[in-house]
Amino acid sequence: MKTFPRGGVHPPENKKASGFSIEVLPLPKSVCIHLSQHLGAPAEPLVAKGDTVKAGQLIAKSTGFVSANIHSPVSGTVQKIEPAPDSSGYKRPAIFIEVQGDEWLETIDRSPNLIKSPDLTSEEIIARVGQMGIVGLGGATFPSHVKITVPKGKKAEILIINGVECEPYLTSDHRLMLEKGEEILVGTQLLMKALRVNQAVIGIERNKPDAISHLTRLCARYPGIRVEALKVKYPQGGEKQLIKAITGREVPSGRLPIDVGAVVYNVGTAFAVYEAITKNKPLFERIVTVTGKSMERTANYLVRIGTPVTELIEATGGMPEDTGKVINGGPMMGKALPLLDVPVTKGTSGIVLMPVAESNRRTTMNCIRCSRCNSVCAMGLEPYFLMSLGEAKRWDDMEQERVMDCMECGSCSYTCPSGRPLLDYIRLGKNSVNRIIRSRSK
């Protein structure tokens, strides 16, 4: 059984919601759509106050290569365009739409019929992925058309579909693989065609045996695509770790997966690509897991982008008495929400409600040099050393020690017996080193 060789931790899985089928969440009264819900430049609004829009209509246009189109998730009237808090708590420009009915663009095929791979060229697929506002749905929200465009002089050899879902609690990808398996495979075929590769591997950890057997069975009819069952270990869903686990190749420091001939997409992204190409449907809804230790009911919802988080929690039976923290994403890499009326964005994979007892940091003690942070770091870094460099503000040394390789998986802070905030100082270092690198290139 394959896995990445170095580092990793085994946090309790707590995947309570894995047995619950995807439910369609009722439409909210109004939605709030941020212009920056992808990595890169914010989109530019194309609508004004008072305009009526249909679901699927382009309402904000990509402003560069690394940027993404945004489409209206609902039909209704544009109420206002003004800054509103996003999941970080800061106000960022957003379009507010009052929901009226549920009218979709006529070009979108709303039937549930499966459409097998249509006859499109590589260029047509790439263009359509860009038009439809697709971004990486695993959480990084990197615009998908960027990764699909192989730079000159480089060659993609293998497409990897990420069905690892190594974050505890989250089950949205798991449900999608069970319920939309065939669609994911068609999406994968389309991506293979766009990248001009003839092999694709779907990586799934073996704690999801039903998804592994389901997709393996379906793969028989899709030449070139196979499923690779992986040993359970966090952070296997990390792009570099997954490539290493499946192909044995190591993406060099500071380089991209394409440098070793690999391109990685989340299963959710493959599904979005299927819908965009065969159904003409832009990315305006996604699967979101709502779960928590003290929640009586947990669920996986199909949610329109822009729906307030409070509506998701309400629909799942409200916030339990003992809630101390609400996380946008999983407990290892997600962001704690400072307020709850923020909207779901393209990157929201789950909402996790943590009980008060588990919401606080632990007391920090001296480092006892146990080396556990070293041994769990999947990038081969020395978190204890980076933290002491960070405390001393030695940014140049941090750069030397490869702080920029850190993907912030949190394994070091998770494992530290002294409860030290290792990742906090590493982040501080990354920010400062980033600033230094930018000023250098000026």
Partner 1 sequence: MSATNLLTVSYSPHQFGSESVQKIMYRVLIAMVPAFTVSLIFFGLGALVVTGIAVVSCMAFEYLINRFMFKAGSTLWDGSAAVTGVLLAFNVPSNLPVWMIIIGSLVAIGIAKMSFGGLGKNPFNPALVGRVFLLISFPVQMTSWPKAIESRLAYLDATTGATPLAILKEGIKNGQPLSDLMKEVPGYAQMFLGNMGGSLGEISALALIIGGLYLIFKKVITWHIPGSILATVVLFTGILWMIDPGKYADPLFHLLAGGIMLGAIFMATDMVTSPMTPVGQIIFGAGIGLITCLIRIFGSYPEGVSFAILIMNAFVPLIDKYAKPKRFGEELKNG
Cβ neighbourhood burial of 194 (10 Å; 0-12, 13-18, 19+): buried
Q: Phi and psi dihedrals of 138, rounded to 5?
A: -75, -15
Q: Is residue 318 part of the contact set for partner 1 (CB under 8 A)?
A: yes
The least distance separating partner 1 from the CB of residue 292, rounded to whole angstroms, comes to 12
| Nearer of residues 143 and 203 to partner 1, judged by Cβ | 203
In whole angstroms, give the CA distance from residue 275 to residue 296: 33
| Segment 414 to 433, residues that bind partner 1, using CB under 8 A | 414-419, 421, 423-424, 427
Residue 340 touches partner 1, criterion: CB under 8 A: yes
**DSSP three-state, residue 32:** strand
- DSSP per residue, 371-435: -HHHHH-TT---HHHHHHHHHTT-HHHHHHTTGGG-----HHHHH-TT---HHHHHHHHHHHHHH
| Cβ 47 to partner 1 shortest distance, Å | 31
Of positions 152, 361, 438, 440, contacts partner 1 by CB under 8 A: 361
Q: Is position 309 an interface residue for partner 1 (rule: CB under 8 A)?
A: no
Number of residues that bind partner 1 (CB under 8 A): 78
Side-chain half-sphere CA neighbours of 7 within 13 A: 27
| Nearer CB in complex with partner 1: 2/80 | 2
Q: Which stretch binds partner 1 (CB under 8 A): 69-77, 148-156, 178-186, 359-367?
A: 359-367
* For partner 1, the closer CB: 175 or 240: 240
Residue span 194-233 as binding mask against partner 1, x where in contact by CB under 8 A, dash where not: ----------------------------------------
Q: Residue 287: how many CB atoms within 10 A of its CB? A: 26
**According to CB under 8 A, which residues from 253 to 292 bind partner 1?**
253, 255, 260-261
Binding positions for partner 1, 160-199, rule CB under 8 A: 168
Among 58, 156, 202, 337, binds partner 1 (CB under 8 A): 337
Near partner 1 in 370-399, by CB under 8 A? 370-372, 374, 377-382, 384-385
Determine if 334 is a binding residue for partner 1 (CB under 8 A).
Answer: yes
Residues 54-93, mask of contacts with partner 1 (x by CB under 8 A):
-----------------------------------x----
Place of tokens 């965009």: 276
Distance separating alpha carbons of residues 340 and 342, to the nearest angstrom = 5
Nearer to partner 1, 12 or 50 (CB): 12
Q: Is the dihedral of CA 337, 341, 346, 348 positive or negative?
A: positive
Quote the least distance from Cβ 252 to partner 1, whole Å. Answer: 4
Strands (E), 166-267: 200-205, 225-230, 262-266
Sign of CA dihedral 342, 347, 350, 354: negative
296 lies in the binding site for partner 1 (CB under 8 A): no
Check: CB of residue 108 under 8 Å from CB of residue 280.
yes
